[in-house]
Structure 1
Amino acid sequence: MTDSPGWAAPGSPSDGQGSDADRPAAQPSGTAPDGGTAPAQGTGAGSAPGSADGKWSATQPPPGHWSSPAPGQTPPPAAPPAPQPQAPGWGTGTGTGSPYQYPGGWGSTPPAAKPGVIPLSPLGLGEILDGSVGILRGHWRSVLTVSLVVAALSQIALLLVQRAWLGSLPVADDTLTPSQALDVMGNAALFYGFQYFLEILGLVLVTALLAPVVSRAVLGQASTVSGTLKAAGPLAPRLTALIGMLLLGAVGAVVLPLLPGILTGSPVLTALGIPFGIVLLAWFYVTFALAPPALMLERGSAVAALKRSAKLVKGAWWRIFGISLLTWVIRVITAMVITAPFAGLALLLSPEGLSGLLDGTAALSWTFLVISAIGGIVGSTVTVPMQTGVTTLLYIDQRIRREALDLELARAAGLDGYGTTTAERPGG
């Protein structure tokens, strides 16, 4: 155990841990466990107890006289075997009191220990989603406080940029020239790009800050806001470096495929680079999605966290991508449901009313923008922790699958006699 909010230093059985050198040597044949000589066993094909020369005993009963039944004669039915006494709870599952039978009969594995929000075993999709919701429900003070602060800062920055961008747009009644239309499209792309990267920044920051909360929730321990900030404080410079690297990498993933079209001034070539930019951005996001929890729980450098994420994601990219995408869809739908009443209220209280919505002037109103921003804060505060919780649980799941982290978690939770063999673990 270390003093970090995470667990022991990264290690894998494949890296030399748990080798055959730790196993007891096999005992030679004919040697008792205490070092003495085991009783000799009969080696002849016909050896029997009580025979000194390996032959049948002289007191064997005479062989029975078997003969074929006479024609038309039916042999008597054989007597049924006598019922053998059976220990309760063995084999049939009808007895009670046996400590050796698990629910489901013989062959079933015992249920994994669950000291906190997840069982200490490789996680399925339902367990990851349920654990993420359980973290929000059981540690809502720490989770919502951190999420609220980050969401408020993000929405304020977005509100100011949105107001400046909308103010620069031409009036709807004006006839746009091709150059003006191109400028509008470029400014819109910049604004939505800023919004997207601001969302990434918020996700990374909340994921990193809440990683200690998730680690304590997995162990069934309580967390506080002060404890969360205290754990994250010494890592603030490394976290800042990690966020900068992730943002630069994301921008590079989008811009790199567009660069040929931008340099040549070809709109067609630029448009063709957009799908490649989206694919490259998705690869970058999933490959390094586990870097924030790796940084906070392993307390390494920003570069080490990026390498750890790439190593843990390797071989499980599509699984992590699918779970992250499904969580994102659920989060977006939930946020839309939460923010819809605020959007309606903003429209009703806007001085321009419904007519302003049709001609676009309502969006320029500070009343509309502020109420919509409040709705965005509420929606992000509630839904972002779900996405960040799934990301941290994916990090824990990959370490359970690759490095037997569940054993270390069980020891940290104070569970006695807990263990899982490596052969029972599915591949990561």
Structure 2
Amino acid sequence: MNDSPGWAAPGSPSDGQGSDAGRPAAQPSGTAPGEGTGSGEGTAPGAGSKWSAAQPPPGQWSSPAPGPAPQPAPNPQQRQNPGWGTQPGNPYPGGWDSTPPAAKPGVIPLRPLGLGEILDGAVSTLRGHWRPVLSVSLVVAALTQIVLLLVQRAWLDGLPVADEDLTRAQATEVMGNTALFYALQYFLEILGLLLITALLAPVVSRAVLGQASTVSGTLKAVRPLAPRMLALTGLLLLGSVAAVLLPMLPGILAGSALLTALGVPFGFVLLAWFYVTFALAPPALMLERGSAVTALKRSTKLVKGSWWRIFGISLLIWAIRTITAMVIVTPFVGVALLAAPEGLTSLFNGSAAPSWAFLIISAIGGVVGATVTVPMQTGVTTLLYIDQRIRREALDLELARAAGLDGYGATSPADRPAG
């Protein structure tokens, strides 16, 4: 028997035919098959040989004549089904590697996603489930802007008059207070982003399945996980602060302003690494219902090997969100300037900023801008979490079963990475 594993090459001998045993000896020229080779004894057909007694006459097998080789007649079936390897009755033309199109029960197809599909899924979630999305985003944005408004008012009251001569110590104090104010504003924005991401993760997951969401249903799903969500938010906020301050700590301890300033860019680099590494923790907590520490570990595992991809997508959506928010807030700032005590003149002498009218109208613009734009970024983050699990854990099969798609995944995509 042939011992080759799996299959033999085309044209290779089969059982017993590949050896010389039992093969008749070469016949002399002019000797008919079955005649003796010199002893006068004939060999009966089939006796010790598998060669047929009926052989073609000599000279019938000749080499092809010189010239172009004849072409086979075209197959009508191939003309009807163009493409490499397309078979009759195959409903998915395109070759042997063609796969059925992915099912799309909701806002995204159930397969690894591209950038455009992620952005489209986030916008579709906002448009199709706007009631719970805007309700949650509005409450968190309003609370964030109220805190920021009070802090900004206190900070502006502490600033010296514009025409006042400042000593070096006073100028240093003003610069330090200003840096603290903008740092607080930044971390409040991160806090609101984390909270909205966690609160809207159930809404995005239901949108992926093509299911509707309500405000009451969203709150019911979030309520049991509220303590863990707050714990995770606190850990991420403390980690963000530590990431920024750690490179500046040597300069702060040494009392060197130069050394502290040199640590600022390293702090932002470390903050970017921290944010991307743990960006998927809020949706992991809400959709897997683990602890805060488990969610941090899950985010680290899912981001590993895809850090730059997640960083690029997050940076792009952040830029889009920032530009969109500026477009929304700008008319409110114009109205705030007109409502200031001195009108547009206050823009040049700096008297508009401390007025309550200017601060309140600007805060309203900030609430509107955050309410509309922040869900875009939180939706992208949750879809990135789902995309990473589809790529590594075949989550699309679980989503298809949850969406009620029978028989989905019977033939897995050939290019799916191993889990």
TM-score normalised to the size of structure 2? 0.84
Cross-structure match for 2:415: 424
Q: CA deviation at 1:354?
A: 1.7
Distance 1:421 1:93, change over 3 A: closer
Cα distance in structure 1, aligned partners of 2:285 and 2:144: 23
Residue by residue over 1:377-398, the C-alpha shift from the partner in whole angstroms, topping out at 9 and shown as x without a partner, is 1100010000000111111111
Paired residue total: 384
The CA distance in 1 between the partners of 2:74 and 2:198, in whole Å, is 65
Q: 1:104 to 1:343 in 2, by over 3 A?
A: farther
8 A Cα contact 1:343 1:372, kept in partner: yes
Q: State the shift of 1:108 in Å.
A: 2.8
Deviation at residue 66 of structure 1 after TM alignment = 6.3
Instruction: Name 1:404's counterpart in structure 2.
Output: 394
Task: Please tell me whether residue 44 in structure 1 is matched to residue 44 in structure 2.
Answer: no
Percent identical among aligned pairs is: 75
Deviations 1:73-126 (A, max 9, x none): x9999876555563885555999x954142445533322211111111111111
Q: Counterparts of 1:396 and 1:331 in 2: how far apart (Å)?
A: 21
Using a 3 Å threshold, how does the CA distance of structure 1 residues 84 and 402 change in structure 2: closer, same or farther? closer
- Paired residue type of 1:44: Q
Asked if structure 1 preserves the Cα contact closer than 8 Å seen for 2:137 and 2:196, the reply is: yes
Q: How does 1:389-400 map to 2 (within 5 A)?
A: 389-400=379-390
**Could you tell me which residue of structure 2 aligns to residue 242 of structure 1?**
232
Tell me if 1:295 matches 2:281: no
Does the 8 A contact of 2:392 with 2:417 survive in 1? no
Q: State the Cα distance separating 1:350 from its structure 2 match.
A: 1.7
- Write out aligned runs for 1:11-410 (5 A): 43-45=16-18, 55-59=50-54, 61-62=56-57, 65=60, 81=72, 86=77, 90=81, 92=83, 99-410=89-400
What is the distance in 2 between the residues matched to 1:234 and 1:127?
32
Unaligned 5+ segments in structure 2 are 7-13, 23-45
The alpha-carbon distance between structure 1 residues 360 and 68, as it changes in their structure 2 partners (threshold 3 A), is: closer
Output the amino acid matched with 2:163. D
Instruction: State the SS of the aligned residue for 1:305.
Output: helix
Preserved CA contact (<8 Å) 1:44 1:54: no
Q: Please, which runs of 5 or more residues in structure 1 have no aligned partner?
A: 1-27, 30-40
After superposition, give the CA deviation of every residue in 1:386-428 in whole Å (9 maximum; x if it has no partner).
Answer: 0000111111111111111111111111112222647522479
**Aligned equivalents of 1:347, 1:313: Cα separation in 2:** 45
Distance 1:44 1:163, change over 3 A: same
- Alpha-carbon displacement from aligned partner over 1:8-27 (angstroms, at most 9, x marks no partner): xxxxxxxxxxxxxxxxxxxx
Q: Cα gap change, 1:88/1:98 in structure 2, threshold over 3 Å: closer, same or farther?
A: farther
- The 1:86/1:382 distance shift into structure 2, 3 A limit, reads same
1:176-215 Cα distance to aligned partner (Å, 9 max, x none): 1111111111111111111011001100000000000111
Cα–Cα, structure 1 residues 76 and 162, in superposed 2: closer, same or farther, change >3 Å? Answer: closer
* TM-score (normalizing by structure 1): 0.82
Q: Is the 8 A contact 2:284 2:385 kept in 1?
A: yes
1:78–1:406 distance in 2 versus 1, CA, 3 Å: closer
Q: Which entry has the higher C-alpha Rg, 1 or 2?
A: 2
Is the 1:91–1:106 contact (alpha carbons within 8 Å) kept by the matching residues of 2? no
Higher RCO, 1 vs 2 (CA within 8 Å, ≥6 residues apart)? 1
Q: 1:52 to 1:421 in 2, by over 3 A?
A: farther
Kept in 1, the 8 Å contact 2:204–2:382? The answer is yes
- 2:316 is matched by which residue type in structure 1? L
- Residue 86 of structure 1 aligns to which amino acid in structure 2? Q
CA change 1:264–1:79 in 2 (3 A) is closer
Aligned CA RMSD, in angstroms, stands at: 3.0
C-alpha separation between the residues in 1 aligned to 2:154 and 2:202? 38
